[in-house]
């Protein structure tokens, strides 16, 4: 079943890279007492993700923060080393928290997985963006197909 507005995010660990290496982090830790924008991409370094989706959230970072967003995070079914390399390649710095869902457990738990095997990608995440208030989903925009419309930074900014 797909997560819905009003649902609490599952307490499943994702992974982020630190100076000490990979570190597990739960969405509860990330979102407790905070407003979070979480967006998901089918894959790091893929065209729409690298050219439009992630750069849009970097470009609108200060606008999102002015609207009360505490954390902007990107999640993908990629390993934490790939997410770190992609973040460095795109110069995200501290503006976007790069989260790895390497085994796709978080993605499956919220019901937003997709079959990318036709492209040699295996099981991945659908493209979406959500607003989370203290662990509870207050907005969820899932792309209905290829492209970037409802989950763009501009669209999410308009929901805040």
Structure token pair of residue 130: 């959500």
Is the separation of the CB atoms in 15 and 24 below 8 Å? yes
DSSP-derived pairing of the beta strands 71-76 and 97-100: parallel
Q: Is 19 exposed, middle or buried (0-12, 13-18, 19+ CB in 10 A)?
A: exposed
Q: Is 74 a catalytic residue?
A: no
Angle CA(31)–CA(23)–CA(133) in degrees, nearest 5? 5
Q: Choose, from 44, 49, 73, 156, the residue flagged as catalytic.
A: 49
Is the separation of the CB atoms in 113 and 102 below 8 Å? no
Q: Which residues are catalytically annotated?
A: 49
């Amino acid at each position: 079943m797909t997560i819905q507005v009003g649902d609490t995010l599952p307490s499943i660990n994702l992974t982020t890279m630190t100076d000490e290496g990979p570190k597990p982090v739960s969405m509860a830790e990330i979102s407790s007492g905070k407003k979070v924008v979480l967006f998901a991409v089918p894959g790091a370094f893929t065209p729409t993700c690298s050219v439009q989706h992630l750069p849009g959230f970097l470009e609108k970072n200060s606008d999102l923060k002015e609207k009360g967003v505490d954390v902007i995070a990107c999640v993908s079914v990629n390993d934490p080393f790939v997410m770190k390399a992609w973040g460095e390649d795109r110069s995200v710095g501290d503006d976007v928290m790069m989260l790895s869902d390497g085994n796709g457990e978080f993605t499956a738990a919220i019901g937003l997985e997709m079959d990318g095997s036709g492209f040699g990608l295996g099981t991945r995440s659908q493209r979406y963006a959500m607003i989370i208030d203290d662990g509870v989903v207050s907005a969820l925009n899932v792309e209905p197909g290829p492209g970037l419309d409802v989950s763009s930074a501009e669209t999410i900014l308009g929901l805040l």
